[in-house]
Amino acid sequence: MLHRLRPYVIGWMALLLLIGTGCGNGADAPPADDSAAPGGQAPSDQITLTADEVAELQINTIPVEERPLTSYLSLPARVLPEANQQAYVTSLISGRVDALHVGVGATVQQGQVVAEVTAPGLSQRVAALRQARDELDRQQRLQERGVGLTKNLTAAARDWAAARQELRSIGIRPDRIERVARGEEDLSKLPLEAPISGTVLNRTAVLGGPVDAGMELFYVVDLQPIRVVADVFERNLGQVREGQAVIITTPVNPDREYEGTIAQLVPQVNAERRAVSARIRLSNSDGALRPGMFATARVEITGGTQPALPSDAIMTDENGTYVIVDEGNNTYRRQAVDAAADAEGTVLVPELAPGTPVVMEGAFQIMSAIDDQRA
């Protein structure tokens, strides 16, 4: 259809040649002006179509829009457990490790016995507890029969409370103390329980080894969710705020991205790193993020607006990337743009003013007609 434009172009060029050779001696003829096209484009970079041709091509345009300029700030980070999701298993009494039930990497539940300690004096405490329980029961029966003395009941209750506190002070739970007092459970060894549910990341307890009161024997961490702490250096503090979107990657699996937001910016600059800690909370259901890992936090920074187009409007050939601009009155022009040929999503086009209509559908056919016109 558009090949019909060639005869008119050839005739137009012949007419110019005739005028140039037939008027005067040619020495005074002004040079031809090829810069009359909009934007300084040569006339060969644009074409005017008939209304019928425009209708047949079903040309569709979109305006250039101002969009926020988005960039990313990369920050060094490390994976750490949440402060309230880590705990140590300790013995509150000196003794010797008599049994170990879990090792490093084991998953434990809160209250699960992970080790047992043989402790001197434990049997005496148990005997005192049972004696206090029996005496309290006896005094209560006497009181019910009306032959007991109130002062004796009060003293028995006081001894019972003191005996229970003796075992509570070394970490025995109240429900277990009641069972031990009634003889329903033995307590020849001190059971050490996991204070939280999680994974055992470290164990220093050795079977048969001595234990001092307060010694950290197991380190238990709940890995779901987990925390990533990024360093926001002083020069970047104005660009980062709580609630900003952030993408986390690790050297272990650089192709996997974890999306989150900055939950907290610690209001203090670390004196050594000259940075503020940004805390990001992430889901870690598969346990792939492990405490101690290095990571990179990419914070999304939104700047001022710039003219932009969908990448589908960008075309490319051997001369580079370009778009087809609708000049009005069925005239279309090729406009070079500095954009990557393989760009996706939104592409910045600072060469075009906001509102400029750019052809989305029919651009290839228009460019073919422009190429035919050049031939």
Decide: residue 140, CB within 10 A, 0-12 exposed, 13-18 middle, 19+ buried. Answer: middle
Residues 134, 199: one domain? no
Q: The tokens 């012949």 sit on which residue?
A: 14
In this structure, are 229 and 298 located in the same domain? yes
Indicate the length of the chain as a whole number: 375
Output the pLDDT for position 20. 40
Q: Are residues 135 and 124 in the same domain?
A: yes
Q: Could you tell me if 334 and 230 lie in one domain?
A: no
Domain that holds residue 92: 83-118+190-222
Q: Which of 277, 303, 329 is the last residue of a domain?
A: 303
Res 240: pLDDT: 92
Compute CA distances 173 → 190, 192, 224, whole Å: 11, 11, 26
Quickly list H helices, 23-121: 51-57
Tens digit of each residue's pLDDT (9 = 90 or more) over 143-176: 988 888 899 999 999 999 999 999 999 999 999 9
Six token digits for residue 368: 């073919």
Distance CA 66, CA 354 (A): 6
Residue 211 confidence (pLDDT): 94
C-alpha R_g of the chain:
41
Asked whether residue 87 falls in the same domain as residue 215, the answer is yes
How many domains, in total, are found in the chain? 4
pLDDT in tens, 252-285: 999 999 999 999 999 999 999 899 999 999 999 8
Q: CB atoms < 10 A from the CB of 275, how many?
A: 20
Residue finishing a domain among 173, 198, 222: 222
Position 43 scores a pLDDT of 55
212-222 exposure pattern, b = at least 16 Cβ within 10 A, e = fewer: eeebebbbbbb
Same domain membership, residue 198 and residue 110 = yes
Report the DSSP beta bridge partners of residue 357: 63
pLDDT of residue 38: 46
Residues 78 and 9 in one domain: no
Q: Are residues 135 and 248 in the same domain?
A: no
Give the chain's largest Cα–Cα span.
Answer: 147
Residue 23: predicted pLDDT: 39
My answer on whether 128 and 217 are in the same domain is no
Residues 227 and 264 in one domain: yes
Residues contacting 52, CB < 8 A, separation 6+: none
- The DSSP-derived string for 153-199 is HHHHHHHHHHHHHHHHTTT--HHHHHHHHTTSS--SSEEEE-SSSEE
31 with 129, same domain? no
Q: Which one of 303, 321, 346 terminates a domain?
A: 303
pLDDT of residue 207: 96
Distance of CA 99 to the CA centre of its chain: 42
Q: Are 187 and 126 in contact (CB under 8 A)?
A: yes
* CATH number for the domain harbouring residue 200: 2.40.50.100
pLDDT tens sequence for the chain (375 residues): 434 434 333 333 333 333 344 434 443 434 434 434 444 444 578 999 999 999 999 999 999 999 887 778 899 999 999 889 999 999 999 999 999 999 999 999 999 999 999 998 899 999 999 999 999 999 999 998 888 889 999 999 999 999 999 999 999 999 999 999 999 988 999 999 999 999 999 999 999 999 999 999 999 999 999 999 999 999 989 889 999 999 999 999 999 999 999 999 999 999 998 999 999 999 998 889 999 999 999 998 877 888 999 989 999 998 899 999 999 999 999 999 998 777 778 888 999 999 999 999 999 999 999 888 877
Q: Which residues contact 372 (CB under 8 A, 6 or more apart)?
A: 2, 3, 5, 6
Q: What is the CATH number of the domain that holds 247?
A: 2.40.30.170
Per DSSP, the three-state class of 370 is helix
The C-alpha atoms of residue 76 and residue 81 are separated, in whole angstroms, by 17
The tens digit of pLDDT for each residue in 227-249 reads: 999 999 999 898 899 999 999 99
* pLDDT value of position 39: 45
The Cα–Cα gap between 272 and 117 comes to 42
203: its two tokens: 């164990």
Helix (H) or strand (E) holding 306: strand 294-310
